[in-house]
Amino acid sequence: MYRTHTCGCLRACNVNETVTLAGWVQKVRNLGAMTFIDLRDRYGITQIVVEEHSPAPVRAVAGELGREYVVQVTGRVVERSSKNPRIPTGEVEVTACELRILNRAQTPPFTIEEQSDGGDDLRMKYRYLDLRRPPLQRAMILRHRMAQAVRTFLDGEGFLEIETPYLIKSTPEGARDFVVPSRMNPNEFYALPQSPQTLKQLLMVAGYDRYFQIVRCFRDEDLRADRQPEFTQIDCEMSFVEQEDVLEIFERWARHMFREVLGVEFEAPFRRMPWIEAMERYGSDKPDLRFGMEFANLTALAKGHGFGVFDDAEYITGFAAPGCAGYTRKQIDALTDFVKRPQVGARGLVWIRTEADGSVKSSVDKFYTTDQVRAMAERSGAAPGDLTLILCGPKFKTLTQLSALRIEMARLLGLRDPRRFAPLWVVDFPMFEWDEDTQRYYAMHHPFTSPKPEDVQYLESDPGRVRANAYDFVCNGTEIGGGSIRIHDADLQARIFRALGFTPEKAEEQFGFLMNAFKFGAPPHGGLAFGFDRLCSLFGGAESIRDYIAFPKNNAGRDVMLDAPSAIAPEQLDELYLRLERPE
Ligand code: ASP
């Protein structure tokens, strides 16, 4: 037996027991007569003592130890004279009577402690060392517990966990595919699933009316903090359901997760917000409801008074930042610079101060009467002491820009508390999204999403007006999940493909297998998928999903530890009938 206990479990009640521990040397403090060793495993740290009168071989081994050596120690548990209340084992230590080096270690490139002194690249390259650190261990344990909570709940509701293949054909999420060449079928390629969307729909045709899977998905997109080329979804699908049924069951699921994993309870039902309301009131289809600063439409009030910038604008909107009337010129200039950054893209920022005595002062005083300025401030919800911030331009562009400013203000005001949670459902998404560059409509969710029955009449005449039976689960300004009720009627599906500019041949080529299956008795069905990595980082209170993935890729999509992607041998290329060309 390598150990009788872990390094996290000894307490005062174990005093006088003889125990054997195994783990990594976190730290050695040699005080001459005594040597203290912090022995670490994933359960905690236990202090080991080697004393002057310890057996000579033990003292000799203690003198050799270095950081991250793997050792086994047998000894007696004794009460510590100076207790360490910061660690659970801090009341005791183990006096070593045997000490054995199981393996030596090179000095690690950074310290394996709560805070590492390694930069991002170094930590990624030695990820297995990074994973020894408590913050990452906590993240991995949280992720594990969450996966178990998902399974317990869904199993209890009769969902079956069914695996679907990774070597498939392009799926409809609309990102770029990762492809895999087939040796046995020369010049042909599999696509890795962007999600199991089509397969889970086929499972509905097959009669498995409640399906789920915690599954890897692959999308070849540019990366950001909350994106990875391979990521994990909690993917779910149900038959014989309407939108309400899906929202009901997954709201219960979300409550179960918050309760089981974090001990957080929500009294009220989750808010439901139509997409258009989310856009007009928060400028985002994933509004952060931990704080207010709702937008007001100021177009009617602000237009037509001789201020050219507003007079020419399609839409004028603003919000009141609480308690910011005292912002200095410099602070306001910084906000103006913020909205003018290329990532935000506004042309300028208009402000109104509502002073403590109720008087108003604005950056556009010369174009408006005091009453007109006051009316705008009041419409924005400003109370005395607040600062109204206003942007204008094309409607949705302006709303999106103001959303960036709202989030920035929340950051400056410290309103983005990671331990508070504000979940909601965003519903009634538009079916289609117009793309200026390609001058065509795209499916906002995916092409199997069902339009609202009452909007089907506009499919050909006014596609932009058609709303979908699609919904997103949003929390703290992040889209955690999304899904839709699907189309199960072949004629309607054909009309959607047409609206999306697919020729019947193209639709057949890409999704013929699904359309064909639908001819054999497809039940009404719908579902959704949650981003598991994002859910973990939300629960963990972190911005980035990386620390919740054991072996993530860097921003260039590289695994710097494995050094992947990498070149392959010429013979492998030959087997695949592939010839390489260097990029220009
Ligand atoms: N497959 C969809 C996605 O990945 C989710 C769904 O509609 O169920 O976004």
Cα–Cα distance, 13 to 210 (Å, whole number)? 49
- For the Cβ of 469 lying below 6 angstroms from any atom of ligand 1, the answer is no
Best mutation site among 195, 217, 525 for ligand 1 pocket (most ligand atoms within 8 Å of CB):
195
- For the Cβ of 318 lying below 6 angstroms from any atom of ligand 1, the answer is no
- Paired with 47 in beta bridges are 38
pLDDT in tens, 35-57: 999 999 999 999 999 999 999 99
Inter-residue contact 225 to 189 (CB < 8 Å): no
Q: Supply angle C-alpha 352, 354, 359, rounded to 5.
A: 110
**pLDDT surpasses 90 at 174:** no
Determine how many CB atoms are found less than 10 A away from the CB of residue 547.
23
Compute, in degrees rounded to 10, the torsion defined by CA atoms 379, 384, 385, 390.
10
- Spatial neighbors of 177 by CB under 8 A, at least 6 apart, are 170, 171, 191, 192, 194, 218, 220
Model pLDDT, residue 171: 77
Model pLDDT, residue 465: 95
* The residue to which tokens 């002491």 are assigned: 385
Model pLDDT, residue 173: 77
Model pLDDT, residue 227: 87
> H/E/C letters for each residue in 333-369?
HHHHHHHHCCCCCCCCCEEEEECCCCCEEECCHHHCC
- Paired with 101 in beta bridges are 71
Cα–Cα distance, 511 to 121 (Å, whole number)? 41
pLDDT in tens, 212-258: 999 999 999 887 767 899 999 999 999 999 999 999 999 999 999 99
Model pLDDT, residue 118: 86
Dmax (CA) for the chain in angstroms is 93
The CA 465 to ligand 1 mean position distance, Å, reads: 22
pLDDT in tens, 525-576: 999 999 999 999 999 999 889 999 999 999 899 999 999 999 999 999 999 9
pTM for the full model? 0.94
pLDDT in tens, 477-535: 999 999 999 999 888 999 999 999 899 999 898 889 999 999 999 999 999 999 999 99
Give me the DSSP letters along 304-339.
Answer: TSS-HHHHT-SEEEEEEETT-TT--HHHHHHHHHHH
The CA 344 to ligand 1 mean position distance, Å, reads: 28
- For the Cβ of 485 lying below 6 angstroms from any atom of ligand 1, the answer is no
Model pLDDT, residue 543: 84
Band of pLDDT at residue 1, cut at 50, 70 and 90: confident
The CA 126 to ligand 1 mean position distance, Å, reads: 34
The CA 450 to ligand 1 mean position distance, Å, reads: 13
Ramachandran assignment for 83, one of left (phi > 0), alpha (psi -120 to 50 degrees), beta (any other): beta
Compute, in degrees rounded to 10, the torsion defined by CA atoms 414, 418, 421, 427.
80
Q: Which atom of ligand 1 is nearest to the CA of 470?
A: 7
Model pLDDT, residue 256: 98
Q: Supply angle C-alpha 526, 528, 532, rounded to 5.
A: 160
Q: Which tokens go with 269?
A: 């039902």
- Paired with 297 in beta bridges are 317
**Would you give the DSSP letter of residue 149?**
H
The CA 188 to ligand 1 mean position distance, Å, reads: 26
Mean pLDDT, residues 276-289: 98
Q: Which atom of ligand 1 is nearest to the CA of 486?
A: 7
Model pLDDT, residue 127: 97
Q: Supply angle C-alpha 98, 99, 103, rounded to 5.
A: 150
**pLDDT surpasses 90 at 181:** yes
Inter-residue contact 307 to 293 (CB < 8 Å): no
- State whether residue 453 is helix, strand or coil: helix
* The residue to which tokens 């990875």 are assigned: 228
Cα–Cα distance, 371 to 375 (Å, whole number)? 6
The CA 446 to ligand 1 mean position distance, Å, reads: 8
Band of pLDDT at residue 584, cut at 50, 70 and 90: confident
- Paired with 391 in beta bridges are 317
- State whether residue 75 is helix, strand or coil: strand
- For the Cβ of 526 lying below 6 angstroms from any atom of ligand 1, the answer is no
- For the Cβ of 483 lying below 6 angstroms from any atom of ligand 1, the answer is yes
**pLDDT surpasses 90 at 415:** yes
pLDDT in tens, 365-380: 999 999 999 999 999 9
The CA 457 to ligand 1 mean position distance, Å, reads: 25
Model pLDDT, residue 255: 98
400: enclosing H helix or E strand: helix 395-412
Mean pLDDT of the chain: 96
The CA 334 to ligand 1 mean position distance, Å, reads: 39
pLDDT in tens, 431-465: 999 988 888 899 999 999 999 999 999 999 999 99
Q: Which tokens go with 562?
A: 């494995």
Model pLDDT, residue 172: 75
Mean pLDDT, residues 281-291: 98
Model pLDDT, residue 222: 84
Domains of the chain: 12-103 (2.40.50.140), 137-272+424-548 (3.30.930.10), 291-416 (3.30.1360.30)
pLDDT in tens, 298-333: 999 999 999 999 999 999 999 999 999 999 999 999
- For the Cβ of 450 lying below 6 angstroms from any atom of ligand 1, the answer is no
Best mutation site among 170, 197, 444, 450 for ligand 1 pocket (most ligand atoms within 8 Å of CB):
197
**Would you give the DSSP letter of residue 461?**
T
Model pLDDT, residue 436: 86
